[in-house]
Structures are given as structure tokens and as C-alpha cells.
């Protein structure tokens, strides 16, 4: 009986260790968001385009993948387990995007 309990305990400890190591791997494998992320306007002053369709102006960014996403393409990119989204900060001088974001 004691040998069976010891075997069961060792197996449970091994499984728990595997879960722990997997969680640590996931925790350190995901890049963190940049301190000064995206800006609503690119280098040339034009609005940042969506990284998926490259047509519409992006209003959100995926912090996990560092990808600018428009509301139309959000459903294509959304991965609830991995992705976190933040609004792209609006720059002054882009009134048509400021009104669209409200």
C-alpha cells in the first residue's frame, strides 16, 4: 500500500512540474508591449493602415503581435487566449479619424 501511494505521489508531482514548466515557458515566451507603442500617424503624417487589409485606418493594436488592426479585420485576428488590444493614441491634426474613434 505504501509503495502504491509513493508511486501515485511521484506521478502527481511529475504532472504538476510539467504544468509549471509549461506555464513558465508561455509567460516568458510572449513579448511585452513597447513603452511608446504605435502612433496614429506614420512617418509621413498619413494614418497607420491596418496590418491585415492595408486599406482601412487602424484604431487598435494587438500588443502581443505588435500589429495594427482596423475594426473590420478584428474578427480575423482575434485570439482571446493570446491577444490583448489597446487603442492607438490619436495625434492632433487627424480630425476624420478622431470623429471615427468616438
Asked if 59 and 48 count as a contact pair (C-beta separation under 8 A), the reply is: no
Q: What is the pLDDT of residue 42?
A: 61
List the CATH code of the domain at 34-101.
3.30.160
Distance (Å, rounded) from C-alpha 87 to C-alpha 55? 18
Segment 41-70, tens digit of pLDDT: 666 667 788 888 888 888 888 888 888 888
Segment 22-31, tens digit of pLDDT: 887 776 654 5
Amino acid at each position: 500500500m505504501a509503495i502504491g501511494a509513493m508511486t501515485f505521489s511521484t506521478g502527481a508531482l511529475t504532472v504538476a512540474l510539467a504544468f509549471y514548466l509549461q506555464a513558465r515557458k508561455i509567460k516568458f515566451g510572449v513579448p511585452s508591449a513597447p513603452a511608446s507603442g504605435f502612433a496614429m500617424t506614420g512617418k509621413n503624417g498619413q494614418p497607420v493602415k491596418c496590418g491585415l487589409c492595408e486599406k482601412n485606418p487602424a484604431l487598435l493594436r494587438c500588443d502581443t503581435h505588435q500589429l495594427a488592426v482596423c475594426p473590420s479585420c478584428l474578427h480575423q485576428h482575434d485570439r482571446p487566449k493570446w491577444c490583448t488590444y489597446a487603442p492607438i493614441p490619436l495625434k492632433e491634426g487627424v480630425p476624420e479619424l478622431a470623429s471615427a474613434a468616438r
